[in-house]
Amino acid sequence: MTDNSGSILLALLTGAAIGAGIGVLYAPDEGKETRRKIKRKVEDTSHDLTERLSHAKEELTKTAKEKKDAFEQKLEDTISNMSYKADDIIATLERKLEELKKKNAQLQK
C-alpha cells in the first residue's frame, strides 16, 4: 500500500464516519435509538480501521522482509565478487614479485 492510497483510504473512512454520524443525529429517532446507532457506527468503523491497519502492518512487514532479504543477497554477492577480485590481485602481485626476484637475481650475477 502506498502512502498516497493510505491517506485517501483514511480520508474516505473519516468522511464516511462523520457523514454517518451527522445523518444519525438528524434522523427523527429517540435519543436512546440515536445513541445506539452512533455506537454501532463507531464500533463498525473502529473494527474496519483496525482490520485495515492490521493489513497495512502485515504488508509493510512483508515488504520490509523482502527488501532486507534482497539487500542481504546483494551484499553477499558483492562480497563474493570482491573476494574473487582480491584473489586475482594477490595472484598477479605474487607473479610480479617472482618476476622481480628473477630479474634481481640475474642482475646480481
Average pLDDT (78-97) is 88
Q: Which amino acid is at 93?
A: L
Domain span at 97: 3-108
- Domain tally, the chain: 1
Residue 5 to residue 7: CA distance in whole angstroms: 5
Stated pTM of the model: 0.47
Query: What is the pLDDT at residue 58?
Result: 92
Query: What is the pLDDT at residue 30?
Result: 73
Grid coordinates given for 93:
602481485
Residue 65 to residue 63: CA distance in whole angstroms: 5
Burial of residue 45 (CB within 10 Å: 0-12, 13-18, 19+) is middle
Least-confidence region, from 4-13, 19-28, 44-53, 58-67 = 19-28
Residue 106 to residue 40: CA distance in whole angstroms: 98
Structure confidence at residue 1 as a pLDDT band (50, 70, 90): very low
